[in-house]
Structure 1
Amino acid sequence: MITITMLGSGSRGNAILVDGSAGSLLVDAGFGVRTLAKRFEAAARRPEEVGGLLLTHEHVDHACGAAAACDRWSWTVHASAATHTALSVQASGAPADVAVLGTSGQMSLCGFTVEHTPVPHDASDCRAFVLTDEASGARAGIVLDAGHVPDGLAAFLERLDLLVLESNHDDAMLADGPYPAPLKARIGGGQGHLSNRHASALAAACAHRGLRAVVLAHLSETNNTPELAVKTARDALRKAAWKRDSVLAAPQRIVLSPVSADGGVGRPAAAQLSLGL
């Protein structure tokens, strides 16, 4: 079985706890260690339970806490060679205990088979992941930052039980919003972030009877709303004949209740805790 707990997702920080039958992994550490510790506490979990950290890429909202968390909780940080190199020149520094992901492929880690593939983003080498629980066969896909949907990505995400997918912005809200033109071009360009429209099309391409839930991630607080992102994805999934209704938007400032591979949503996280950024 796989359960996903979104500890927070957005431009202020991203971290995803993935639990399987035999272990737990964290995907991205875009918060400082104090905030990460608070997010784990809100989820009624302990960072010491995590067996390793997977990094999608080096941008601060995904990796600023990687080095300090590795040092504090003895995590090994798994990322591409280019991501490790980029981290080494950032203010947060390079993690002490690292493992290098190849160009693509798979590995066994903490009871998961971890597959990874490059996705287009203005980072050194951004990756999408599929984690398969080796005991149950349950599969979760995670795509956090991608400027567009490359050929082969939907096939990489086939037969998922859970999909975590960036749905960053609404096209009209971005175009009419307050950001300066260069930033709008960067976000909406082919190396930026997925819009609701493109994310929903990818979700629809991944739809099948076994897909239990879709969690929309990395929503812009300026150029999107949870209601709009969920509606856009849900409409596309219904057109693809997906019969379920489990489409959720991950918040930035609080922990989302755990979502399991059978489609169940756990009890609400302790949102009343003070979760500093």
Structure 2
Amino acid sequence: MTTALIAEDEPLLAQALQADLARCWPELKIIASVGDGPQALKQALVLAPQLCFLDIRMPGMTGLEVAQALAEDWPDDGPPFPLLVFITAYDEYAVQAFQAQAVDYLLKPVQPARLQQCTERLQKLLAQRQAQPAPQAMQAAMEQLRALLGSAPAAPQPRLDVIQAGVGSTVHMVPVDEVVYFEAADKYIRVVTADKEHLIRLSLKELLPQLDPQRFWQVHRGTVVQARLIQTAHREETGKVTLTLRGRPEKLTASRLYAHLFKGM
């Protein structure tokens, strides 16, 4: 029996999708239906469904953020990574751009004929996965997610040259070139240089478009490192990569999703 999770913050739409799935795929078992991103992530990790239907815009975390977090947190020795279907209210132009990737999309309101196409495609993909070694299936999933995240770039913004980190009545002017890495910490970002740390009240999602992607590499959903200050990258059997840094004693982990950045020349 194939299992699935539905994450949709509009209850009527969630109920309608579940009913439509029951009609076109009677063998499919919905093991959870949740209404926000954090619950989608939590339940997916606990229940390990084979499919996840994720609304793009949900409270707490978007569907894309849930997908990225799943890729980061999926257990190395766990079951196969779920196939992801995104449910979106974007216009047709955006949907066509997303459909160019190897992950399916459903446009709200979901049409029965389109859902039928989607379920047929999912059944074929599941059958192909059964004939695929687990590492290859995981690698294919990571490639899909990288393409997906790259298909929805943030709007370009002016590049930051200086980080203005406020502490009480004092503002510390930290040149971006001195930053070794940025790390998300609750509602703040840790700005780590060779000898100091600062906190700024900003999300990584807001900061990333202001950084030069050639200089600052995202290596985890909560970590961005200045590439020239990475000293070594050691690939683990799990697919993750351990990074050592110039000027800092700690080691950072690059997730499987970003391990492709570290290849010998």
The TM-score with structure 1 as length reference comes to: 0.24
**TM-score (norm: length of structure 2):** 0.25
Instruction: Report 1 or 2 for greater relative contact order, CA contacts < 8 Å, sequence distance ≥ 6.
Output: 1
- Hey, which of these two has a bigger chunk of helix by percent? 2
